[in-house]
Amino acid sequence: MIAARGKVCFLILFGLNFLLVGIMEGLGEECGIAAVSLPKGMKDPPFGGAAHYLYKMLLQQQHRGQQSAGITTYNKKRTQLIDTHKGIGMVNEVFRSHHLEKNKAILSEYSGSRGIGHVRYATSGREDESSAQPFERHHGRLRKWFSFGYNGHIANFSELKKQLLGAGYYLVRDIDTELVMHFISKAMVGSQKTAIEDVFGNLSETFDGAYCISYINADGLLVVARDPVGIRPLSYSNEDGLFMAASESCALTSCEAEKVRNVAPGEMVLVQDGNLEVKRFAKKRNVSHCMFEWVYFSNPASVIDKVSVYEARWRLGEQLARNEQLELNGKDFVVVAVPDTAKPAASGYAHETGLPLMEGLIRNRYVGRTFIEGNNRANIAREKYNVNKAAIEGKKVILVDDSLVRGTTGKSFIAMLRRVGKPKEVHMRVSCPPIKYPCFYGTDMSTLQELAAPKHMDAEEVRTTRIDVSEKAIEGIGKEIGLDSLAYQNIAGLKKAIGLPEESGGLCMACLTGKYPTDCGKKLFCKALDEFKKNPGKKHKRVI
């Protein structure tokens, strides 16, 4: 994520409302998408029609993006056949939910029979309304007048940008969403109609990276599609003619969907005039699902590719406990979760060890996400958590977190825990293995220099992409952030805990192993390694 962080005016207006994240040092992932099509001739549709459902689904995916939100709806009775409402801020702010009349006015104006929605956390571009999604492209021909929302990151953005500029195109916002819009438009050039599966097939041959797309045009065609590698999740339901799709299955079940399916990698779902078709638009490839969706990103109530997020996180905690080297007892030790995403793992750990699970940390739900404020992450972390001294004073605390990425927040956070809570010892157990390498598929960590683990690994460890991190490196990380001991999940434990069915494909663990599932990911990793060799201690420089 390249966007600048923490503009003062933005924080004053919106900073107090960011929710749903642990202490995970500013790690974020780009976006969530939604789509809905109402049954043909639906009796008594809810006020706002498609806008009503999109608003509800976006609320359930707020954790995937807090910088902006928006919807595009289709209404054949409107002059603007497709029309877009979007803005900076949380879903409730963009839809003015705290002002009943203004909220009703928005839902009424954008009422429709179908539509798409989006919540954004930027991995590139600016934090302004022009970069908010969905992106709408006006055109005189109905099939070329379209809007879309996008979740992921195009790894070969730089070379595709050069290609567009060489062909006389221009990128105003310099973001991959704009690039996607241009390539969709290019595939429709000419008076002869191009089948939508061919349009998306062209994208699959052009793009390298992660992308789930929701799309609607002024002909009333609604499409959701998942990239052929399947890095990011996408679910849908179709019950009694009500079609819904979203990045998170819980967004569908919150709207009372009962039969939720996954969009398979390389497949698209098309809905028009009440008819639904599932089509393959891309050749089958080696599927590689992002392991971080189960570890951290997704709502614990979601199911991704047949695996419950909550159960996977619980099992991760159990695996941590089985690997425990300390001699534990219920008299001296307590387990404390870093709120909120680590709670299932902490519960699994406590259950397996028989230790009491205590609320040693209470999250202030009215303080912003730490990554929003960039250089002020440590200050925000201190404001964000209240230490519950009664639960941990004089105890040996096993602090369970889902991941340790940069370590920038950890030091001040642990110091606060010791100062206020007066524990006897603080030990951290991390349910994800050490993050050693960059991600080029939509997660906010694109360089080696910004990560905690490579700073403590020797050069040979980094270059050879060994799976295991030395005890010396782990001890160094622990000492840097002020722990009595630090232990991570191992790769075998991660794979076992997630338990992805064989037919669903494999896991993308590139940030743990250095093995990237796409060609451009491999090339960018080589660049990142070269940069690290030249400047291992230098402030990180993005390679995308």
Q: Which residues are identified as catalytic? A: 31
Q: What are phi and psi of 10, to 5 degrees?
A: -65, -40
Which amino acid, residue 138? H
Q: 3-class secondary structure for 334-372? A: EEEECCCCCHHHHHHHHHHHCCCEECCEEECCCCCCHHH
Burial of 443 (C-beta count, 10 Å sphere; 0-12/13-18/19+): buried
Q: At what angle do helices 343-353 and 309-322 cross, to 10 degrees?
A: 40
Distance CA 27, CA 18 (A): 14
Do the Cβ atoms of 37 and 222 come closer than 8 Å?
Answer: yes
Distance CA 222, CA 40 (A): 14
Identify the residue whose tokens are 């003015």.
Answer: 96
Q: Which two tokens stand for residue 470?
A: 């030395």
- Rounded CA-CA distance 306/515 in Å is 24
Beta pairing partners, 276: 271
* Cα(292)–Cα(294) distance, integer angstroms: 5
d(CA 445, CA 438): 5
140: CB partners within 8 A, 6+ apart: none
Structure tokens at 517: 């599932």
Q: Which of 336, 332, 327 is nearest to 428 (CA)?
A: 336
Q: What's the distance, Cα to Cα, between the start and end of the chain in Å?
A: 10
> DSSP letters of 69-95?
EEEEEE-TTSSSSEEEEEEES-HHHHT
The Cα-based distances of 145 to 74, 114, 191, 287 in angstroms read 11, 15, 14, 32
Q: Which residues face 308 on adjacent strands?
A: 303
What token pair was written down for 269? 């779902």
Percent helix / strand / coil, the chain, rounded to 5: 35, 20, 40
